[in-house]
Chain A
Amino acid sequence: MAKTAIRPETGPRAGWRSLFGHGVIAGLAFAAVGFVVGAWLGGVIGRDWAGVSGTEQNDPALVLGYVFAVVGWLWGLGFFRYPAHRLRGEEPSAYAEEREGEGIRRFFGVSTDHKVVGIQYLVGSLSIFLIGGANAMLIRTQLLSSDGTIFAPNEYLTIVGLHGSLMIMTMSAAVVGGFGNFLVPLMIGTRRTAFPRVQALAFWLIPAAALVLLSSVLVGGFPSGWTGYTPLGDQARVGVNSYYVAFGLVAIALTLVGIDLFVTIVTMRAPGLTWGRLPLFVWGVFATTILMALSSPMLLAATFMAVLDRTVGTVNFIAPMGGSPFLWENLFWFFGHPEVYILALPGFGIVLELIPVFSRKTVWGYRLAVAGILGVALLSFSVWQHHLFVSGINSALRPFYSLSTELISIPTGLIFLCALGTLWRGRIRLTVPMLFCLAFIFNFLVGGATGIYLSDVPSNATTHGSYFVLAHFHYTIMGGLVFALFAAIYYWLPKMTGLRFREGLSKLHFWTMFIAFNSTFLPLFAAGILGMPRRVSSYDPAFHGLNMWASISAFVLGASMLVFIVNFVLSQFLKREPAEPNPWGSRGLEWQLPTPIPPHDFDEIPLVRSAPYEYGVPDAPPVADLHPSRTGNDEVRIG
């Protein structure tokens, strides 16, 4: 791809002056200014409104403050430079915003290098993950005693809401944003994603959303949990606007990520990379992007309606005035259910990608695995009312949603079949990434099995709204995606940064995490089905033993994260032992590149010659020809 004429921009500034160019610092400064302007404007607009005067809450001011703050944030980061240049008739280069050769400062601004964006996502997601995890530790501290006196009830509810919301926000983007951005172009043999600036925009909305959400603490918190049910959300204090605005931002970000990567995978595959040779990780990302692009706009619509209710006084969700609480439930869960598959599908992709490498065998049933991934994605749009079985919906709808929910176990079963079949007669190496993948299979098995209870209407009456549901989704989301995320980190980081992880610490991390995780959530199935509701700050003393066990295990689980942090800091910053270019002996296209990966990725666009999983296939050609112009190879051979 040819570079357009490079306009002589003022080059990257050296030393301390670089702090004052566009970047995070400017973003924060402009955001603060924007917040003040927006809050003042909201105050002026809402001055005489009934809900504002005479109460201590000024929703319009807070919401407009956030909106202007986000605009300021994006301005300070430099997102308006490109449109401004184009409107003036100039043609800035695609590389103008890239801060090549500036070291660490590349990561604190807008970058159009997909590798930088991928690492930004990973670091950002992991940081937010740790904050969410700290909230979880606070929750389990409260629940150590059955009459919950450590936090007052509304502070506790804010902590619960922060935990759920931060985790959902960060984990939705962690794999697809992080590994998706870094690896998908490398895996499909191209040098960038389809819309690099859009991808950078999507990334920087995530810290903005996290900061907006965390700022709710300063304005009284929010009592509605991560599901934001109205009319409680309409009734709550101003802090709940942080929740709605943050999720609106996340919805925009997810939509953009989805569109960008979808177009990349469809249109930018290297020659020879047919759909039948696409790595399963890319298939997982592909399916996820479909869900992101189609379901996230619904979340944006729902949060926008809720904000309207709170600011200008619409009554979308207020029953006595003609609105309907069911409306929020349906809008939210129409997004919410595909959302949990946005969380699960990348995990499937990672596991199916890694198991062939560590069994030294080709994937068992490649087409079945693809069918499974796409089947899950397609079906996930048709199941959302299983969250509403007991809420008073027309009960004639329930058999349909029960069936559609149960049907998802068929494609999910196919994915399991292919993952397990790949182990058969392989040469299985129990490396740390492999251990995490196997843990994924176990955890998701438990999570999926308990999902059957929830999808069955009579059984749902026992388990809905209880800790059983909580244990179920922690098994599928944390036991699934988070374990897969760590598998991906241990697997791909040696390629991304060129540094090895410490083997002993990695294994310690895995075993403590796996054992502590199961020990934390397994008892909670029992607590839930025996009568403990969700989101409670105190509970029946009969459940004290179970909760104490879960809390102590949760502290060990938190400690295992500290082991990971120590491992990460030691290996990436202190000891810095270099890794080989292909330590796992993988046939993946990304592993055929040198370490560190050059800024332009491929010297030439490669010609793909075979599927990436041809281990043990006699006379299999190499996965790709990296220099087709030299070998004169321009013939695409399929099969």
Chain B
Amino acid sequence: MSSDEPTSPGSGSPASEPNHGRRIAVIWFVLAAVATPIVVLVWGPHLPPGDATLQAQHQQEINAILAGIVTPVVLAIIVYAIYTLIVFRDRGEPGPDGPPIRGDRRIATAWIVFTAAVVVFVVSYGTYDWLGPGVGSGSGQGPDPIARPDGAKPLEVQVIAQQWQFTFRYPSYGGLETQDLVIPDSRYIEFHVTSLDVIHSFWAVELGVKADAVPGADNVVFVLPDRTGPFQIRCAELCGLWHGQMYQLTARVETEAGFRTWIAEQEQLFGDVTRYLPPYAHVYYPQPEYRAG
């Protein structure tokens, strides 16, 4: 790895031994060979956002792959830097300046090729993931999503964000609106996220779902839950006074049967207010639209 630089006069100093490059490479290789598998294989399956849904699993996988790329790169730079700082440290004796190494074409080319390859890989794999098997990978795709699930029609659930609570409508149950979010497992859910006032963001943490709620816009995100259990909903976009308190801990994924029971209960509970609700639409403009008063 060392290029053809002139040896500095006055040998005997560590700077004239030519095998620094190899030494650095060896130290780095050992550290990276130990750390990277630990990061990817041991820590990887426990990385956020967890594996409760297909989308979360894909995010977790990507996070692990990125960690697997980042770890050796960061280690390389740290090992190199610490090594050079120790070995090439000025010992205080008078002497000439460092050798005039202006560059090395091979190293520069290798570096550029390597970084470009990492970039291309990361972008391609990430794009392939959300366009293909990840079906959006939990990110809001706007009103016209490209990555859609094939197979059975998903259950459409609308998430209405308003200052400062999320409510949920189930169009296939007569436009019923509820205070809590309960979804069945093993069926695709198609969230339509919108807002009634300012920009919020629907973040279902354990589901790995994040979609901004923009007034006048419909933001679609797909999720396929893998198992039952509770999940948190948090608002992830500053929306005014109670942004930090705009969260719900009562959301959960239920079995198909459990979901049917729950929705029947909700129809009992909220049936009498459903007639006052506006007809189901992907976007609402409730009064007052502009300045009140």
Contact = CB atoms under 8 A, between A and B. Distances in A.
Interface of A: 50-51, 54-55, 148, 153-154, 157, 223-225, 227, 229, 231-232, 235-236, 313, 315, 318-321, 324-326, 359-368, 389-396, 398-399, 402-403, 406-407, 409-410, 413-414, 416-417, 420-421, 423-430, 438, 441-442, 445-446, 449, 452-453, 455-462, 464-466, 529-531, 533-540, 614-618
Contact of B101 (A154, A315, A395, A424): A424
Contacts of A409: 115, 118-119
Nearest to A413: B115
Nearest to A526: B48
B225 to A, nearest CB: 16
Contacts of A614: 100
B66 A153 contact: no
B290 interface: yes
A464 B48 contact: no
A460 to B, nearest CB: 7
B98 A390 contact: no
Interface of B: 5, 8, 15, 20, 47-49, 55, 58-59, 62-63, 66, 69-70, 73-74, 77-78, 80-81, 84-85, 88-90, 95-104, 107-108, 111-112, 115-116, 118-119, 122-123, 126-127, 129-131, 134, 136-147, 193, 197-199, 201, 203, 205, 208-212, 214-219, 232, 234-245, 247, 285, 289-291, 293
A438 B85 contact: yes
Nearest to B73: A449
19 contacts: A50-B293, A315-B290, A318-B290, A320-B285, A360-B90, A364-B102, A365-B108, A393-B142, A406-B123, A420-B77, A438-B81, A445-B74, A445-B77, A459-B59, A461-B55, A461-B59, A461-B139, A531-B48, A536-B244
Closest 3 CB pairs of A and B: A319-B216, A536-B244, A465-B236
Given A154-B241, A423-B84, A423-B85, A458 B290 contact: no
**Most chain A beta-carbon contacts within 10 A, residue among B8, B81, B101, B235:** B101
Contacts of A438: 81, 85
Nearest to A323: B216
A535 B246 CA distance: 12
A402 B126 contact: yes
A335 B102 CA distance: 36
A231 B84 contact: no
B217 A392 contact: yes
Contacts of B97: 360-361, 427, 615-616
Contacts of B111: 413-414, 417
Contacts of A364: 101-104
B98 A392 contact: no
Nearest to A405: B123
Contacts of B47: 529
Contacts of B147: 395
Contact of A325 (B115, B141, B214, B218): B214
Given A442-B78, A461-B137, A425 B112 contact: no
Given A392-B193, A458-B138, 5 more contacts: A157-B238, A395-B146, A403-B119, A406-B122, A416-B77
A439 to B, nearest CB: 11
B210 A538 contact: no
Contacts of A313: 291
Nearest to B129: A458
B77 to A, nearest CB: 6
**Most chain A beta-carbon contacts within 10 A, residue among B81, B208, B212, B245:** B212
A615 B89 CA distance: 16
A438 B81 CA distance: 9
A421 B90 contact: no
Contact of B199 (A229, A367, A403): A229
Contacts of A407: 119
A232 B244 contact: no
